[in-house]
Amino acid sequence: MLEMLKNCKLCPRNCNVNRLKGQLGFCKSSHNISLAKVSLHQWEEPCISGANGSGTVFFSNCNLNCVFCQNYKISQEHFGIEITIERLAEIFIEQEKRGAHNINLVNPTHYVPQIIEAIKISRNCGLTIPILYNSNAYENVDTIKALNGYIDIYLPDFKYFNDKYAVTYSNAKNYFEVAKNSISEMVKQCPETIMSDDSLILKGVIIRHLMLPGLLFDSKKIVDYIFRSFGDSVYLSLMNQYTPFYDCAKYPEINKPINSKHYDSLIAYCLNLGVKKGFIQEEGTVKESFIPDFNLDGIN
């Protein structure tokens, strides 16, 4: 599996660098895994966090360059420490022992080969809780195919419909087409949602969409596509927690919270379409306190 790093094409950047020899591509990730935080996270969707929390594992670096990234310290400034595959497997087991309901791989795309090896080791050592893949969906289909059988729950973002916004705000050409194809493969692998008796997700796909200021029309297009393509086989999570961060000052049109009326309008639009399986957020989510403190907790 690590052979995939010799000519890296895990995402549409297709950098073709040999990461096993220390060459770095767009995401600045080597053959080593870099982590910034391991925690029990209480602020995911209720069926993910449950009572005990989701076992988040925050990976450093990123294959996008979102100007509003709230995790820019690890995604753009590359904060974190390198660990081995064996240590990652140990972390998975430690998270289960802490009571985590799942292993939540946050922004994992650029480490897929190493993650697969760590899952193999941890499963052989007795790991039983579901593995959740929490990504930006800007990844090649072959990368998602490689995860078949290893991932129980997919939690992709679906950020943009119009490519001009993807290029402007995330430096990501063809985002919609790429995300559409990668998410379709996720749904193919997990075509139905399975919940436990205590309403925790065990298997399935939850698609997140974070509204951006002034882009209600684009959000509606995303919702249209998701519901038309997948119906109620997936859950739709509409997020209003957009908080201006990182380089937003350079883009005054999004350097502000979203309009609450626009968010309410999007919810109403979903209901009129017939969306029945979904999550919405209450007001008060635009706070820096919701952003994790990346302090290397749980890694060493």
Position 127 scores a pLDDT of 98
- Report the distance separating Cα 194 and Cα 191, nearest Å: 10
Position 72 scores a pLDDT of 95
**Would you say residue 169 lies in a domain?**
yes
Kindly report which listed range (32-46, 130-144, 243-257, 284-298) carries the lowest average pLDDT score.
284-298
Domain count, the chain: 1
Distances (CA, A) of 209 to 103, 185, 287, 296: 21, 18, 18, 28
Q: Look up the domain containing 22 and give its range.
A: 2-210
**Would you say residue 24 lies in a domain?**
yes
Of 206, 205, 211, 220, residue with least CA distance to 268: 220
**Would you say residue 202 lies in a domain?**
yes
**Would you say residue 240 lies in a domain?**
no
Strands 33-41 and 54-59, bridge-based pairing? antiparallel
- Report the distance separating Cα 203 and Cα 100, nearest Å: 16
Q: Map residue 82 onto helix, strand or coil.
A: strand
Residue 288 banded pLDDT, cuts 50, 70, 90: low
Contact 20, 5 (CB under 8 A): yes
Kindly report which listed range (32-36, 56-60, 264-268, 284-288) carries the lowest average pLDDT score.
284-288
Residue 287 banded pLDDT, cuts 50, 70, 90: low
Other CB atoms within a 10 A radius of the CB of residue 255 amount to: 15
Q: What is the DSSP string of 204-219?
A: EEEEEEE--TT-HHHH
Of 131, 136, 134, residue with least CA distance to 151: 131
**Would you say residue 291 lies in a domain?**
no
**Would you say residue 220 lies in a domain?**
no
User: In sequence order, what are the residues at sequence separation of 6 or more whose Cβ sits closer than 8 angstroms to the Cβ of residue 73?
Assistant: 36, 79, 294
Position 1 scores a pLDDT of 84
**Would you say residue 154 lies in a domain?**
yes
Averaged pLDDT, 211-240: 97
- Report the distance separating Cα 291 and Cα 229, nearest Å: 32
Mean pLDDT of the chain: 96
Assess whether pLDDT exceeds 90 at residue 285.
no
Angle at 277 between CA 275 and CA 282, to 5 degrees: 95
Residue 291 banded pLDDT, cuts 50, 70, 90: confident
Position 286 scores a pLDDT of 57
Residues 171-196: tens digit of each pLDDT: 999 999 999 999 999 999 999 999 99
Assess whether pLDDT exceeds 70 at residue 28.
yes
Assess whether pLDDT exceeds 60 at residue 284.
no
User: In sequence order, what are the residues at sequence separation of 6 or more whose Cβ sits closer than 8 angstroms to the Cβ of residue 262?
Assistant: 211, 216
Residues 6-15: tens digit of each pLDDT: 999 999 999 9
**Would you say residue 263 lies in a domain?**
no
Which one-letter DSSP state was computed for residue 130? Answer: P
CATH code, domain carrying 38? 3.20.20.70
- Report the distance separating Cα 163 and Cα 178, nearest Å: 11
Residues 71-99: tens digit of each pLDDT: 999 999 999 999 999 999 999 999 999 99
